[in-house]
Amino acid sequence: MADVISGLLVFVGLFVLSFVIGIIAPLAGVGGGVLFTPIMLGFTSIHPDLVRSAGLAIACYSSIMAGTVYFRQRIAPFRLILLASTALLPAAIIGAQLGIYVAALGTWGQGLIRASLGILLFLIVVLLSVKRVDWPTPRCNSRLIDVFGLRYVYHEKTLNRDVEYCPTGLGLAAGLPLLFLVGFSSGFFGLGAAWALIPIYNLLMNLPLKVAAASASASLAIADTGALWGYILRERFHPELFIGATLGVIIGANLGAKLLLIARVNFVRRLILAIMIFNGIQLINRGLFEMGIIPHRLF
């Protein structure tokens, strides 16, 4: 009975933590999965496979939810996302399979995952700070755009006019290999990837910032579905953790999206970036210790 009560307390704790992560993530401009996985890997002893499958589920289901809104409004281009998924999906599957393999190597492998995720967190913080372009001039004269039907128009309420957009042909060609790397990191680490997709869509493919952000949110549903099947069918998940964390983050994110309208976003954003940096240091510290590279954990 004592074990059941302690398990119940663990569940409530995990749910509350996931809920809080769900609330603060939109305020910081990141997805819940980007905070959930590093925090759980850095500060708990839960096995990386269980954390990553839950993190992937959060990223995947949040992305499906985003798609239900953005595809209807044409803010996210469905055909471009299908095209992107041909690179994201195989990469995410390879990443997930390799992630499971590395974690199965034991403490050394788990340390490698933690340390590399810590390094990736610093890259995420840098990419979140990169300046973006709100309304780039559309250049839809590439034949590639016509062949794939990637010219879109949506009504922008803030400008009270229709906005035409399309990716540039060159950006599309250069972006697809990068999407492969993004898909791989999503599958390997069990992370969302809006932090990487927004710069690719906005700065490389020349999509308006709002379209890039919506597309990034809706992009990972297909890829992460494939990666998740790898974790689920290899039994690398636990239903209470998986479902509790997913529901916690999704419910929290809905509240966070409403708070976004009234909260002091700059303060929260800086706070989250500081937490991510600290989390990155902690992951590298713990990872290097588990790999046997440093003899003692620094803290």
Q: Footprint of another protein on this chain (CB under 8 A)? A: 3-4, 6-8, 10-11, 14, 44-47, 49-50, 60-61, 64-65, 67-69, 71-72, 74, 78-79, 82-83, 85-86, 89-90, 93, 103, 147-149, 221-222, 225-226, 228-230, 232-244, 246-247, 250
Unique residue bearing structure tokens 């500081």: 274
Nearer to another protein by C-beta: 147 or 261?
147
* Residue 251 CB-density burial (10 A; 0-12 exposed, 13-18 middle, 19+ buried): middle
Q: Give the tokens for residue 76.
A: 């996210």
Cα(191)–Cα(185) distance, integer angstroms = 7
Question: Minimum Å distance from CB 141 to another protein?
Answer: 18
Q: Is 298 helix (H, G, I), strand (E, B) or coil?
A: coil
| Strands in the chain per DSSP E | 152-156, 161-165
Contact (CB, 8 A) for 244 and 15: yes
Nearer to another protein by C-beta: 27 or 228?
228
What's CA 100's distance to the chain center, in Å? 18
Question: Minimum Å distance from CB 297 to another protein?
Answer: 15
Question: Minimum Å distance from CB 48 to another protein?
Answer: 8
CA dihedral 9, 42, 248, 11 (to 10 degrees): -20
Nearer to another protein by C-beta: 85 or 128?
85
Nearer to another protein by C-beta: 199 or 282?
282
Question: Minimum Å distance from CB 125 to another protein?
Answer: 27
Question: Minimum Å distance from CB 46 to another protein?
Answer: 6
Nearer to another protein by C-beta: 175 or 230?
230
Cα(227)–Cα(224) distance, integer angstroms = 5
Question: Minimum Å distance from CB 128 to another protein?
Answer: 27
Cα(162)–Cα(156) distance, integer angstroms = 6
Q: Give the tokens for residue 57.
A: 């589920």
Nearer to another protein by C-beta: 14 or 212?
14
